[in-house]
Amino acid sequence: MSEMSRPLSTRVVRRSIRATYVNAVYWGVGSGLASTTLIVYLVRLQGATGQMIGWILAVPSLVGLLRLAAPPWIDRVASRRRFCVRLFFASAAVLALLPTLAVDDVFEEQRVRMFGVSAAWAGYQLLECIGVVALWSWFGDLVPQRVRGRFLGRRESWLNVGAVVGTLAAIGITFAWPRLFSDADVTSMRPVREWQSYALCAWLGSAALASAAFTLLMVADAPRRTSQPSHRLRTRDLAAPFADPRFRRFLTFGLWFSFSNGIVQTAQSLFPIMRLDLSFAARKTLDGGLRAAKAATLPVVGAAVDRHGNVRLLTFSQGVIAIALLFYLFATPAEPWWILGVYACWLAYATHDVAFPNLMLGLSPPGQSATYAAAWFAWTNLAYSLSVLAGGAVFDWLSWNFTPRSFGGRPFDHFALCFMIACVLKTLGVALAARIPEPMSSAGEADA
């Protein structure tokens, strides 16, 4: 028996799982520093419209469809560990280019700058998402299914701890950087100082993500649980997740969930800026608070999933997430604190963070986790990206054509209409979540 095919000892598995938590911390720091919110504020500084922001949000998911071709590539590699390290390091390097492409000293034409930012953002996301397919295939073979919920909960918790650290660093940098200069400079050079602070966050985030890639070298290169007979991309492999009735129900919910999330992204991204006039630091403070709360909650959610299953918790959480959008209707510049209700309800996403990968791996047939993971990520991200593009276009159209009204003394404008539509769509997702089958646990696996 070769070394790569020999089962790992319990001691090695436990040591490797602890190393994945270290990886999660670094990854969280990187995502907290170089977040989508940061990119939105950066392109908004360059005068991007709602449709342009929708495009920025959607492009990574559109190119992510290419990950459907990843499983044969992953099956061919001798070491999934080396494969992941190389792809994640390359993605971090591409991310480091993004701020430079956004400044008008490099490209004077705004559309060219937006194209450059979109291309860099898409390249970063594409490399990362292909690596994630390999990562989950690898982790699926490493972690016993009986304790996978606890593993996912703890790893997501450490990921959120790192994200809180990265978020706090981003808040400090964007708040303090302009104030390092004289008052005269702050007024006349504010856009330049803002760009510099955003760029510094992106570069530090890139460095943290590169560090996260190298921490994977501490994780054992788990042998594949079943042989991989084919290295060719076949049509039947692409269709297999849809032909599987159990996985199809899960994928149907994932598609609807992604669509209902994407349709409101432009409105959600711009509402704190345009309606509440929240600074980047204030927005990231809210994001950091949510991350911290999730970090405390996720281990409990992971244990609950192992004990009670995924579907009931997921169904309840989906209803709470739908309710969150109603709090936007009450938030105004005079009463911005209503937005705290949105973030309180968003804590329910902790269940999704655990249940999604757990269901994805648990409903995948043995030896096909890479194929099913690729299908899950590719099709749900495509649904998300198309709905983000549509949502951006609808948002701009409504901003020009919808006549604001008032109900109960509260304004009802194009933002409110977008939130109401998304609330209805998310509520319909509750029924789809309830139809997902619960994966059967593997009996007799050792506790990690």
Element (H, E) at 405: strand 405-407
CATH number of this structure's domain 8-222+237-434: 1.20.1250.20
16 within 8 A of 220, measured Cβ to Cβ: yes
Check: CB of residue 153 under 8 Å from CB of residue 301.
yes
Could you tell me the two tokens for 18?
């602890």
Q: How far apart are CA 296 and CA 350, in angstroms?
A: 10
Alpha helix positions (H), 244-368: 245-262, 265-270, 280-308, 311-324, 339-346, 349-362
Residue 62 has, within 13 A of its CA and on its CB side, a CA count of: 15
Tell me how long the chain is.
Answer: 448
pLDDT digits (tens, 9 = 90+) for 149-195: 889 889 989 998 998 899 889 888 887 877 776 454 555 556 667 77
44 pLDDT higher than 70: yes
pLDDT of residue 19: 93
The average pLDDT across 333-352 equals 90
pLDDT of amino acid 26: 96
294-307 residue pLDDT tens: 888 888 988 898 88
Q: Is residue 448 over pLDDT 50? A: no
Cα gap 111→29, rounded to integer Å: 31
**Residue 405, strand partner residues:** 412
Mean model confidence pLDDT for the chain: 82
Does residue 137 have a pLDDT over 90? Answer: no
List the structure tokens of 343: 């973030």
pLDDT band at 276 (very low <50, low <70, confident <90, very high): confident
Distance CA 234, CA 119 (A): 29
pLDDT for res 394: 86
316 has a pLDDT exceeding 70? yes
Of 26-35, 60-69, 280-289, which gets the smallest average pLDDT? 60-69
Spell out the residues 6+ positions from residue 384 whose beta carbon is closer than 8 angstroms to its own: 58, 61, 258, 259, 261, 262
Q: Choose between 174 and 60: higher pLDDT.
A: 174
Residue closest to 197 by CA, chosen among 290, 280, 110: 280
Residue 197 has pLDDT above 70, yes or no: yes
Rounded to 5 degrees, φ, ψ at 174 are -70, -25
Least confident of 62-71, 87-96, 105-114, 416-425: 105-114
Domains of the chain, by residue range, sit at 8-222+237-434
Which residue in 234, 168, 246 sits closest to 201, CA to CA? 168
Residue 305 has a pLDDT of: 87
DSSP string, 406-440: EETTEEE-HHHHHHHHHHHHHHHHHHHHHTPPPPP
Output the CA torsion sign for 257, 355, 224, 218: positive
Type and span of the H or E element at 101 = helix 80-102
User: What pLDDT shows up at residue 442?
Assistant: 38
Question: How much of the chain exceeds pLDDT 70, in percent?
Answer: 85
- Comparing 12-26, 150-164, 398-412, 434-448, which segment has the lowest mean pLDDT? 434-448
Mean pLDDT of 88-93: 94
CA-CA distance, 223 to 356, in Å (whole number)? 24
Confidence class for position 3, pLDDT limits 50, 70, 90: very low
* Listed ranges 39-48, 93-102, 200-209, 216-225; the one with the highest mean pLDDT: 200-209
pLDDT at 321 over 90: yes
Strand-pairing partners, residue 407, are 410
Give me the pLDDT at residue 130, please.
87
Mean pLDDT of 349-371: 86
The span from the CA of 366 to the CA of 396, in Å, is 46
